[in-house]
Chain A
Amino acid sequence: MVNEELTPHIQELQRVLGDKIDEEQLEAELNKYLNEYHVNIDAAKRGIIRKYGDTDTSTFVTGNSLVKKVSELTGSEQNVDIIAKVVFVDEKTITAKGIPKKIVSGIIGDETGTVSFTVWEPGAIVLAKGSVYSFRNCYCKLWNDKVQVNLGNRGRIESAEGIKMDLPERQITAASSEIKIGNIKDGLGNVTVTGRVISVEKRQITARGEEKTVFSGIIADETGKIQFSAWNDFGIKEGESLCIKNAYIRSWKGIPQLNMGDRCEVSRVDAITDVVDTTNNKRTIEEIGRIGGGLDITVEGMVVDVRQGSGIIRRCPQCNRSMLNGACTTHGMVEGIMDLRLKVVIDDGTGAIGAIVNRDDTEKLTGVTLQAAQGLASIKGESVVGREITGKILMKRVSVTGNVMSDDYGPSMIVKSAEILNVDLEKEASALLDEVEASL
C-alpha cells in the first residue's frame, strides 16, 4: 500500500490514539504491519491500537457501529450506538493496576428497557440524571446473564437533548411468595422466609460514597441456611425467629443471599426449633445443581476424576494464585512458592461437582505430605507426584464440606474440610433389606 492510501487510516488511528503516538511513528508501525508482515489493514489497525492504546478495554476498531435499542442488546456487541436516558448515574474511584482511576457508572434506558453502563474514560461531559444522550461506540458484555454497556477509550457520549424518551414503568414484581430456605435459588425476586437467626453482625460499609450500616448474618429453617444482609436496622438478634417479608435474592458467585431492602418487613414469630443442623448441611449434588450454591455444604461421593493442576503447584508470592509454567498470569516470571493441592470431580450418582482441596486436606486424604511430594519430585519429577496422588484418591469415597458456587460448567466447591468416607456396609445393607422386605 502506498503512502497516500495510508493517510485516511493514519488519520483514523490518530483520532483513536490521540497524542499517544506521533504521526511518523504511526506511519512506521503501519508500514511494518502491512509491508513487512503482510497483515491486512484491519488487523494492522487493531494491533496498533492494542499496542499504543489503553489496555483496559477489549474493543477493536471495526467499521461502522450499529444503533440498537436496549432490549436488542445481546451482550456480545463490539461496537454499538445506543440512544438512551440516564436513569441513575454515579462516579466511582476504582483501583486499576495499583493506580486509582475515576469511572462513571449507572443505569440507562430507552422505551424498550434498562441496562447498566460503565464509562471507563470519563471525558468532559457530565451525565445528568433524566437527560438523553447518544452513547457511541459502546461494547457490551454479559455479567451474571445480564448485559452491561461499556464505553472504553473509543466511546463517545453526545448530548441528544432534542430526543424525548419515555421509559417503561419499573415493574413491581408480583406478591411476595413464601419459600423454604433450601429452595432459594438465584434470580428470585420477592420472597418471604421464616427462620431462626443463627448469627448476626453489624458492619460499616461505604456504598456510593455514603457510610452505611449493614446487619448481616445467617438465618436457617428446617431445609437450609442462607446469608442475609439487612440495609436497615430491624433490631435483629441472634437466636430469635423471624418472618421476613419482601426480601430479594441476589447471588454472589452463585451463592444466593437474602437481601432485606427498604420494602422489607420483619416480624417476630414463635420460636422455630426445627432448623437444619448448621454444622451439617448435607446435600445431594442434584440438589446443589438446582440451588446453584451455598455455604458450608457437605457432599458425599466418589472421586471420579482428578484434574490437571493437582499435585505440586507453585503459587505467585504476590497474589497467591497458582502459576502456569513458572509464570504468574499477572506478575510474570516470579519465584513461586511450592504448594500441594487437589482438583477433583466428585460424583454421588445424582450429579458431579468440581472440588478444590487445599494442602492440609490433600495431605490428609492422600497420605502424601508436601515434603514427601517434593522428595519424590526431586527424584522422579513433578508429573510422577501428580500420578502418585491421583492413584491415592481416584475412586475413593469422600465427604467434603465447603462453599459451593456455580458457573456454566456446573457447581464447584472450595473445600474447607475433607475426609475419606467410611461406610457401615452391614448397617446400611440391613436397612435397605428391611425397607425392601417391608414393601413386598
Chain B
Amino acid sequence: MNARETAWRVFATELNSSTLEIKATEEKMPSYIVSPLGAKINRILITGVLTEKENVGSEEEPMWRGRIQDVSGSFFINVGKFQPEASAAIADIEAPCFVAAVGRVRSYTTDDGRTFITVRPEHIVKIDEKQRNEWILETAKSTWKRLKDTKRVLSMGDATEKDLVDAGMSPVEAFGITYALDNYGQMPDSALYLKTIQAALRMLLPDRNVDLGFPEDMSDEPDEIELPENGQQGNNAAQLEDMILDLLEELDTDGKGAPREELERRAEDMGISSIELEEVSNTLMDKGLVYEPNLRYLKRI
C-alpha cells in the first residue's frame, strides 16, 4: 500500500519533545518521528500564529523559515523550492496572522545530542480564529486520547501490540505507544501534556475557570498573560528591556549572538516568560538595538 500518510494533530510541546526517529531504510519508504505519547508522525497538520518569517535563501530561490506558535510552544517551519505551493503562499502572508499548514516533519540532531524538529509545509494558508480554535479542540482531543491510551498500556503490564489491538486500539496507535514506551526509556511527562490541554481548554472556554491543577506557567500559556496597568507597564517594559540587553551581552560568547534556546532558559530563570521575551525582543528590534543574525540567535548591536 502506498496510502497517503496521515496528518497528525499534535501540539508543539509534544512534537518538540520528540527525539525518536524511525529512519527510512529503503527508497520510497517514509521516515517517521515517534512522539513520547506514541504518535508515529510523517505528516502533521498545525495551526497557530505565524509569528515570524524570513527568507534565508535568495530572491530567485527563496527558502522561507518561520515560526508558528500554538497554545504550548512554537513549530519551526521551512519552505523551499520543493514545496512550490507553500512557497508561493507564504510569500504573500504577513506575520503575525493565524495560519494552518500541512507538511512533513524532519528532525536533525546537533553534535551535543539535542534534537530539533521542523515542519516542511506542502500547503500553508491564512485562516481565521475560529478555524484555529477548531484545530486546538481537535488536537486537545487527540493529545488526550494518546495520554489516556499510554496510561492504559502502562496499566496493562507486558501487553503486546496484538493485545492492544484486541483491546480496541488501531494498529498504528498500538505500534506507536509500544515503540515509544520501549525506546524512550522513561515514562512520558504527563504533566507537560496535561498542562498543554489545560492551556488549550482555557483558550477555548475563557468563561469557565479551567483548572486542572497545574500552576500558571507563563512559558506554556502565552495567551494567559495579564499585562500590568498603563504607567507601570512602561516601567516594567523598560526594566525588562535592560535585563534582556544585559543577558544578550552575557550570552554572546563567540560574537554570533545569544542562542535563542539559552536566552529563553535564562530569561525564564529570571521570571520572564518566552512570550514576554518575544515581545521585548521585538520591541528591541524595532528600536534597532538588537537584530537576528538568523532565527536561532539574537544579537545586541
B134 touches A397 (CB 8 A): yes
- In the complex the two chains form, what is the Cα distance from A290 to B5 in whole Å? 15
Cβ contacts under 8 Å, B194 to chain A: 436, 440
Q: Are B138 and A409 in contact (CB-based, < 8 A)?
A: no
B interface, over-half SS: mixed
Residues 398-434 (chain A) with a chain B CB within 8 angstroms:
408-411, 423, 425-426, 428-430, 432-433
**Closest chain A CB from B141 CB (angstroms):** 6
CB distance from B65 to the nearest CB of A (A): 21
Which residue, B3, B125, B133, B138, has most C-beta atoms of chain A within 10 A?
B3
Does A221 make an interface contact (CB < 8 A)? no
| Chain A residues touching B, majority SS | mixed
- Say yes or no: A433 contacts B142, CB within 8 Å: no
Q: For A436, what are the chain B residues with a Cβ–Cβ distance below 8 Å? A: 144, 194, 197, 201, 212
Q: Does any Cβ of B come within 8 Å of A286's Cβ?
A: yes
Partner of B9, one of A290, A305, A349, A409: A349
Q: How far apart sit A430 and B201, CA to CA, in the bound complex (Å)? A: 8
Q: Tell me how far the C-beta of B91 lies from the nearest C-beta in chain A, rounded to whole angstroms.
A: 14
| B3 and A289 form a contact (CB under 8 A) | yes
Interface range on chain A (Cβ under 8 Å from partner): 35 or more
The number of chain B residues touching the other chain, given as a range, is: 35 or more
Which of B2, B142, B201 is A410 in contact with, Cβ under 8 Å? Answer: B2
Stretch at the interface among B18-26, B202-210, B233-241, B258-266: B202-210
A residues less than 8 Å from B122 (CB atoms): 305
0/1 per residue, B187-217, Cβ < 8 Å to A?
Answer: 0000000100100010011001010110000
In the assembled complex, A244 has its CB within 8 A of some CB on chain B: no
Is residue A345 within 8 Å, beta carbon to beta carbon, of the partner chain? yes
Which listed residue, B1, B123, B208, touches A430 by the CB 8 Å rule? B208
A49 → chain B closest CB, angstroms: 33
Query: CB-CB < 8 A to B148: which residues of A?
Result: 439
C-alpha gap A408/B131 in the complex (Å) = 32
Q: How far is the CA of A428 from the CA of B189 in the complex (A)?
A: 25
Give 1 or 0 for each of A348-373: 1 = CB within 8 Å of chain B CB: 01111010000000000000000000
Closest approach, in angstroms, between the C-beta of B150 and any C-beta of chain A? 13
Any B CB within 8 A of the CB of A198:
no
Nearest CB to that of B88 among chain A residues?
A387
In Å, the complex CA distance between A396 and B45 comes to 12
**B137 adjacent to A430 (CB under 8 Å):** no
The interface centre, meaning the residue of A290, A354, A426 with most chain B CB atoms within 10 A of its CB, is: A426
- Chain B 1-20 residues near chain A, CB threshold 8 A: 1-9
- Kindly state whether residue B294 has any CB partner on chain A within 8 Å: no
Contact between B7 and A352, CB atoms less than 8 A apart: yes
Contact in complex: B140, A432 (CB < 8 Å): yes
A351 cross-chain contacts in B, Cβ below 8 A: 3, 6
Complex: chain B residue closest to A302, CB-CB: B45
Cα(A167)–Cα(B208), bound, Å: 74
CA distance A408 to B4 in the complex (A): 10
| A88-136, CB < 8 A from B | none
Contact B212 A425 (CB under 8 A): no
Not counting A305-B122, A351-B3, A426-B204, a sample of 15 additional A-B residue pairs whose C-beta atoms are within 8 angstroms of each other reads A302-B7, A350-B6, A352-B3, A352-B4, A352-B7, A395-B102, A408-B2, A409-B2, A410-B1, A410-B4, A425-B134, A429-B140, A430-B208, A432-B137, A432-B197
A-B CB contact pairs (8 Å), 10 listed: A345-B4, A347-B102, A349-B142, A350-B6, A352-B4, A352-B6, A352-B7, A395-B100, A425-B134, A425-B204
**B residues whose Cβ falls under 8 Å from a Cβ of A:** 1-9, 45, 100, 102, 122-123, 125, 127, 130-131, 133-134, 137-138, 140-142, 144, 148, 170, 172, 194, 197, 201, 204-205, 208, 210, 212-213
